[in-house]
Structure 1
């Protein structure tokens, strides 16, 4: 099969690897030196098995000209509609999307769907206790890196070093990510306005939340709510978020 893929590609065919199909294309050597997508859960495995591939776990699909790769099942539809759009135009892609009852083109990327669990720590580890404290007090605007370092009884420099070793990111970026993730949960499950959601995760208002949310999730808070809200809060009669952005 790998030989057939290489022969088809060499003969000028456009090759598409949907979801875990990227592993097959990588095994065939077709992704060497290229940027490629796969399901976010398996992106680390693809990168480890094929370090010559530039794996991008943040996007729905990658169009590299003669090779396309995508994330999970729905993203495979996105990639195929994109290919139709590229070859036959937006009208054809739109007609197919309507027949399938799917959007012709989704905004954002896989970042909207990625789960980011807390790193595991040993019982009694002061850093682990600091992380748990931070999660419980994300609404406190005074919760910053200096406050966390002080709670761990460490200098800012030592705290930063230990923190990076444990989480793989800086304390500031981790804290911003946790606040954005909590904002995602509130947008999904409540009818709070975006401004109120922002205040409940430690931002002054929705304007302050928006750039961090968009950078980490890939879409604006209101767009995320429209896509992922559960409906429970709305059946309870709460507003949909007047003043949201």
Structure 2
């Protein structure tokens, strides 16, 4: 794997010549990039090549490349051997992939020449993709203006603030917009790579790779990348942590009104509604709705209960009310969601 993904090409196998019509995948390397952002997706393409070659079909040629070539240290301390980007004709590249970095802004500021190369090469390559905070590299290169994009949920607000022309999807595992693909945090690069393999090689090969890596074959994007309850516990709404846990344990109760919630935190309904909106950015009613949708999603994915049962367990009351709530929040019905995401 390391030899395929990271070693400089020998003169006899120049990266300009992708043999047997295999798809050339180039991973962009820079100082302090995330190791799993890089290797997770690489392993998917490497495994897909095995299955394609076993069928006498072309797979992928993988290269990790930096501006100057040579050893590149990751954030975790492991050094990766890279080839020089000047070795490639961008017109022969099937997919450019930009991994993220834990401190992406600092890493990006030290890699502006790489961003400039990416801005030019992306227009010539067939596809361009990013893993985790690698979305910032695509954004800085001007590739995401007017487009929807995903990144790690902890960095969504920073991406919105820095690049207001981007429609940031904080819920998606990955997003495809024309020839630009972006993905969420770290391991979501595996989901992204599986989707690319499915597009290139078909669902059967992608499923074989997913089984080999002991991961789920994930979908055409759109599943939540984080828990709403977890998000609430990492924001300024910590004062309401116990309330959120209480709500999650009492979702079957239909009358989770402002008065009921205010009583739990020993506040007046009016003051509670005001303070809650100030601290969390959403009304109490919307918070209950979001937690109900999340609980229903989990049951649709993992249980065999019918939709009417799930609607009652999550406090929607009936299937129709749950359907309308799903359409409003997710743009799909519960049945469509189950058919797409059920395990």
TM-score (norm 1): 0.67
1:22 Cα deviation (Å)?
A: 1.9
Change (3 A) 1:25 1:107: closer
Change (3 A) 1:56 1:186: closer
Query: Deviation digits for residues 6-49 of structure 1, max 9, x if unmatched?
Result: 2224x655551232332221232333454323344543443355
- Cα distance in 2 between the residues matched to 1:109 and 1:210: 17
1:163 Cα deviation (Å)?
A: 0.9
Change (3 A) 1:136 1:7: closer
Change (3 A) 1:81 1:128: closer
Q: 2:226 aligns with which of 87, 91, 114?
A: 114
2:272 maps to 159
Is 1:62 aligned to 2:176, yes or no? yes
* Bigger share in strand: 2
* Number of residue equivalences: 212
Change (3 A) 1:202 1:26: same
1:78 maps to 195
1:196 Cα deviation (Å)?
A: 1.3
Change (3 A) 1:43 1:128: closer
1:194 maps to 307
- Cα distance in 1 between the residues matched to 2:247 and 2:166: 36
1:172 Cα deviation (Å)?
A: 1.0
TM-score (norm 2): 0.50
SS of residue paired to 1:57: coil
2:118 maps to 5
- Cα distance in 1 between the residues matched to 2:227 and 2:333: 18
Q: 1:18 aligns with which of 124, 130, 135?
A: 130
Q: 1:175 aligns with which of 285, 288, 292?
A: 288
Larger radius of gyration: 2
- Cα distance in 2 between the residues matched to 1:186 and 1:107: 20
- Cα distance in 2 between the residues matched to 1:38 and 1:13: 22
Is 1:27 aligned to 2:144, yes or no? no
Is 1:97 aligned to 2:215, yes or no? no
Give the conservation status (yes or no) of the 8 Å contact 2:175–2:221: no
- Cα distance in 1 between the residues matched to 2:223 and 2:304: 24
- Cα distance in 2 between the residues matched to 1:106 and 1:141: 32
CA RMSD of aligned residues (A): 3.6
1:205 Cα deviation (Å)?
A: 1.7
- Cα distance in 2 between the residues matched to 1:192 and 1:30: 43
